[in-house]
A and B are shown apart, each in its own frame.
Chain A
């Protein structure tokens, strides 16, 4: 299977292990992800908080570039996925399409569709293909799946899973052999990009998620969003000040896919985490 690949800014920096593990798993599954040449930032929340047209034109340039490739897009980052989808939907209105094409100086019909990596793997590559590759099941690893906001909301944009009680990552983790614990905070917000301007606020929001995950009996949280990852993983030391009993390792779902398929931890970027997952993985005989 061949797709245009939109890594987005995070996958090259703050979320680089998501990029590394995505490429490793794709290679292992014989999926061809071709990076969109000269892609640009989707504008994230800062663009849609500033100007609607700006927030559509920035991701639309990437849609136009993928259209030239003639390939649908796969975007691992929940935020990029959400913005690309928003542009795709807006372009269906002729008035928006004309304005955006004018701004870009290139044609963009909105016929190219964007799929999040999780949706792509679970619903297009399919569980049979994935299960066949699992040679080291994640036996005894107790996880909660955390979807956050932008992967599943708004439903009209994201479409592939339930906005209140999504299941695709849970099913995937079961397929990898993990013990999946149900919890009511799957789609609760981590604070998103308020982490820089309002750090204390997001510490509370992300801290609550970690605490609830622990209370549910989880040994790790699985995520599909680099911003969620950063908020949950990078500031645990600061949260310990609130009397929390941490660390609690956080994983990208792609890292756990890679591990269960026998790929080496270094080839998945596990050494890039702030909260070191090594002890947990050793205890589960997964390293």
Chain B
């Protein structure tokens, strides 16, 4: 399935956008993005898919859904950001690697145990991104408050989860 079709299926109607800019004005992360959501929608209208896929914005988007709630044309820019993230990830175009590493690590842990283990998530993330002591103090404070599980434990239905992961891994449709 190509990107355009995928967007349509997901309910993203970028051709309806009249570039009012309400989405970008509402976006709480726009200040840190290279292109705000309005700009990305415009890229899609022009068929500039690569520009959209290569932008940092799709990774910095917090998926807060404010843009989609306010868009007067029901374009659904939040869903658009989501589709672009999925596609960029599949094509290994990742302008903000740390966000992708976080997502991958998060899912890796669910695949292993069925539930998240914050300690392992933080340690793995730090190791992969080469910031060994990031949030170390916070980690200790969390441990002291019982906010990090002890040893990770596997759920009984882990087989089902592994099957879900195996069959959705790198799906290109």
Chain A residues close to B by CB (< 8 Å):
9, 12-16, 38-41, 43-54, 57-58, 61, 103-106, 149, 153-155, 163-164, 187-189, 191-194, 196-199, 201, 204-205, 234-235, 271-272, 274
Whether a CB of chain A sits under 8 angstroms from the CB of B20 is no
- Mask, B120-162, CB within 8 Å of A = 1, is 0110010001000011001001100111110000011100110
Whether a CB of chain A sits under 8 angstroms from the CB of B17 is no
Chain B contacts for A16, CB-based, 8 A: 145-147
Name the residue among B66, B104, B134 with the largest chain A CB count within 10 angstroms. B66
16 A-B residue pairs with Cβ-Cβ distance under 8 Å, sorted by A, are A13-B116, A15-B147, A38-B156, A47-B107, A47-B110, A49-B85, A50-B103, A61-B157, A149-B65, A149-B66, A196-B135, A198-B98, A201-B29, A234-B138, A271-B145, A272-B147
Q: Quick one: given A40-B161, A192-B62, A194-B60, are A13 and B147 in contact (CB under 8 Å)?
A: yes
CB distance from A223 to the nearest CB of B (A): 15
CB distance from B59 to the nearest CB of A (A): 8
Interchain CB contact (< 8 A) of A193 among B102, B129, B163, B164? B102
Closest 9 A/B residue pairs (Cβ) = A189-B64, A197-B98, A46-B103, A153-B65, A46-B106, A9-B116, A54-B168, A197-B102, A149-B64
Tell me whether B147 and A103 are in contact (CB under 8 A).
no
Whether a CB of chain A sits under 8 angstroms from the CB of B95 is no
Q: A45-B63, A46-B106, A188-B28 are in contact. List 5 more A-B contacts (CB 8 A).
A: A153-B69, A189-B64, A191-B28, A198-B98, A234-B141
Chain A contacts for B25, CB-based, 8 A: none
Q: Quick one: given A46-B107, A194-B60, are A38 and B155 in contact (CB under 8 Å)?
A: yes
Q: Quick one: given A50-B107, A54-B168, are A154 and B63 in contact (CB under 8 Å)?
A: no
- Distance A187 CA – B96 CA, assembled complex (angstroms): 26
- Mask, B46-79, CB within 8 Å of A = 1, is 0000000000000010111110110000000010
Report, as a range, how many residues of chain B touch the other chain.
Answer: 35 or more
CB distance from A198 to the nearest CB of B (A): 7
Tell me whether B60 and A153 are in contact (CB under 8 A).
no
Tell me whether B161 and A154 are in contact (CB under 8 A).
no
- Distance A187 CA – B69 CA, assembled complex (angstroms): 11
Q: State the main secondary structure of chain B at its contact with A.
A: helix
Chain B contacts for A61, CB-based, 8 A: 157, 160-161, 164
- Distance A188 CA – B30 CA, assembled complex (angstroms): 13
- Distance A48 CA – B168 CA, assembled complex (angstroms): 12
CB distance from B13 to the nearest CB of A (A): 15
Chain A contacts for B62, CB-based, 8 A: 149, 189, 191-192, 194, 205
CB distance from A222 to the nearest CB of B (A): 19
